[in-house]
A and B are shown apart, each in its own frame.
Chain A
Amino acid sequence: MSDPLAHRVASATPPQLAHRIRGLSDRTIAWLFVAPTIFLLLAINIFPLIWTIRLSLTNFRTNKPNAEVEFVGLENYRKILTDEDTWIALQSTAHFLIWTIVLQVLIGFTLAYLINKKFRGNDLWTTLIVLPMMLSPAVVGTFWTFLYQPQIGLFNYFIAFLTGADPASFSMIGDVPLAPWAIVIVDTWMWTPFVMLICLAGLRSIPSSIYEAAECDRASKWRQFWTITIPMALPFLMLAVLFRGIENFKMFDLVVQLTGGGPGSTTLLTSIDLKREAFEKWRTGYASAYAVILFVTVFGLASIYVKALNKVKDR
């Protein structure tokens, strides 16, 4: 310290008192602040995950806690991967995943594009469009079963009005060919606004100077759309697809209330199948292995996708 007076003053205060005045050290505070979060996440996320992996190697059943638990190695995994039902559930999930993403991206992007024209009152209408995604999926599923009732349901009435078919002649959630589309429609109704909002953020991030430059070069609107708007909004669009993809791979609440996996197993998505194994058939070990497989699949697909996304971003 260059100033001798300041030095004398500073050292005149006993160290303990100095500590009290200055409070805890930054290092201590940092740990104090981060520790509860890390602890809670370890206890409620990581520890259960490790436990799931351990259970997946056994034949444990929750409804028979006193039965002897045997280590069965990878037997559960072999059973799941060779079970035809697993592949049927994966196919239903894939159908749901692909169609919801296609529809939500098309409608969501179009809406964002239109809202970005900044007509009067656009923010209020945006908010109204966003309402469905804020609601409880289980409750949404419940009341859509009402709209889907044959004869009395509003949806059936609407379709009948447009096509002239008898509204009692079809049941969206009861007919095998229609049920997979019933869940796609509700999910699209609910989550298109999410894709729309992210696309809107993307469109708004494009500087208007680029369009002005293109305008000076006499590029047509059509050309501007394909060479400026789409490429520059693409990373955002891909991000929206990633989020919807992860969420819909895990889809449970909405579809459970809407169709419960039926009729038969036409809308039995993997999460619902897993829930049946774990909490209805109580095959805990088997269900744990199922959970691990699903988790690894999501994680793997998401990582590959993120790599592709980063490539697009760097371009």
Chain B
Amino acid sequence: MSFSITEPSGRQKWIAGVLVVTYAVLTLIPLIWIIATGFKTPQDAIAYPPKVFFEPSLEGYVNLFTSRSRVTPEDLAALPPPSTFYDRIVRQYDMVITGPSKYGERFLNSVIIGFGSTFLSVFLGTIAAYAFSRFKVPMKDDLLFFILSTRMMPPIAVAIPIFLMYRQLGLSDTHLGMILLYTAVNLSLSVWLLKGFIDEIPVEYEEAALIDGYTRFQAFYKVVLPQAATGIASTAIFCLIFAWNEYAFVALLTSGTAQTAPPFIPTIIGTGGKDWPAVAAGATLFLVPIMVFTILLRKHLLRGITFGAVRK
């Protein structure tokens, strides 16, 4: 439609482009700044005026992954010379590494709980969406609205009884407890999104399969599932992002074993106040996977956001 009378003129496009790119650059500065801060030394991080050009250092990352303690200069002199680059960095500050920090553990928890709850909510969401899409379920509309309405609840409102309930059941501060909780929160989104995707698959495919002697189950996983694969994948991304980013529940219901990275990152403290390069390094490692994901899968993601919103 390049000759359509409603097509914007070249000049209009140019102005629109410049304005949007300006906004995008401004909005990305905080993110770029935080990634850069992760590679600064603590002195450079708090320099005035803020340093745009600096000598990169891995100090933030070393501090993020280790716990350290101060030793006297005499003890330090008595130690054998540092064998690794991280030992060398730490010794500049009269410190020695005493062990790994909790960051690795918390990051691993994020991965376990994120993927566990995503798998469960997509699995349950797919079969429920299939049933809602294809069968006569009694009170279908009421059930669907009920599923949606659970999304409106403020997390803090249900956190108190869940806290008490989990304590009774022995689920507090466990991976299973957090996986079940995130699954429950994500289910409404997953059922609604997937129902939309499955509704779009023609019923005739399954009917043909049934006539060929497939059972319902076979028709479901051999015909419907492959057709719904794209929809399932983009739903999974949304569930994963939610579980990855969640803070309120995990901060209130866990204290150690099952705690994910978001409540840990703000607590990283160095000598005399926050260790900003380490905080920035922790944030970078935690946020960059999501950024890469978003850019690579932009087509599905952007469609999913609006689709989910407009459907509701």
Contacts and interface: CB of A to CB of B under 8 A. Distances in A.
Contact of B135 (A26, A36, A126): A26
B157 to A, nearest CB: 4
Contact of A21 (B29, B137, B215, B246): B215
A201 B19 CA distance: 20
Nearest to A143: B34
Interface string A185-209: 0000100001001101100000010
Interface residues of B, number: 101
Contacts of B119: none
A34 B130 CA distance: 9
Interface in A130-157: 130-132, 134-139, 141-144, 146-147, 149, 151-154, 157
B295 A127 contact: yes
B156 A274 contact: yes
A33 B20 CA distance: 46
B77 interface: no
B131 A34 contact: yes
A123 B298 contact: yes
Interface string B136-154: 1100000100110010111
Interface stretch (A75-83, A97-105, A175-183, A289-297): A289-297
A108 B157 CA distance: 30
Contact of A154 (B5, B33, B274): B33
Interface string B43-70: 0011111100000000000000000000
B37 interface: yes
A249 to B, nearest CB: 8
Interface in A34-89: 34, 36-38, 40-41, 43-49, 51-52, 55, 62
Instruction: Find the residue from B5, B33, B262 having the highest chain A CB count within 10 A.
Output: B262
Instruction: Find the residue from B16, B29, B33, B188 having the highest chain A CB count within 10 A.
Output: B16
B228 interface: no
B234 interface: no
Contacts of B309: 198, 201, 239-240, 243
Contact of A134 (B49, B162, B294): B294
A239 B310 contact: yes
B12 to A, nearest CB: 6
A144 B181 contact: no
Contacts of A96: none
A296 to B, nearest CB: 10
B170 interface: no
A157 B276 contact: no
Contacts of A22: 215
Interface string A300-315: 0010000000000000
Contacts of B128: 33-34, 36-37
Interface of B is mostly: helix
Contact of A29 (B12, B131, B158): B131
A189 B131 CA distance: 40
B302 interface: yes
Interface size class of A (residues with CB under 8 A): 35 or more
A90 interface: no
Contact of B187 (A24, A26, A40, A157): A40
Interface in B15-37: 16-17, 19-21, 23-24, 27-31, 33-34, 37
Given A146-B280, A215-B5, A253-B247, A138 B160 contact: no
A135 B245 contact: yes
A52 B158 contact: yes
Contacts of A215: 5-6
B266 A298 contact: no
Given A115-B16, A147-B33, A134 B154 contact: no
A117 B146 contact: no
Interface of A: 21-24, 26-27, 29-34, 36-38, 40-41, 43-49, 51-52, 55, 62, 107, 111, 114-115, 117-123, 125-132, 134-139, 141-144, 146-147, 149, 151-154, 157, 167, 189, 194, 197-198, 200-201, 208, 211-212, 215, 236, 239-240, 243, 246, 249-250, 252-253, 256-257, 271, 274-275, 278-279, 284, 287-288, 291-292, 294-295, 298-299, 302
5 contacts: A117-B17, A128-B24, A130-B298, A143-B283, A152-B50
Given A47-B165, A135-B290, A154-B50, 20 more contacts: A29-B131, A33-B127, A40-B183, A44-B158, A48-B160, A52-B157, A115-B16, A115-B20, A119-B13, A120-B13, A136-B286, A137-B245, A143-B280, A146-B34, A146-B274, A153-B50, A189-B30, A257-B266, A275-B252, A298-B152
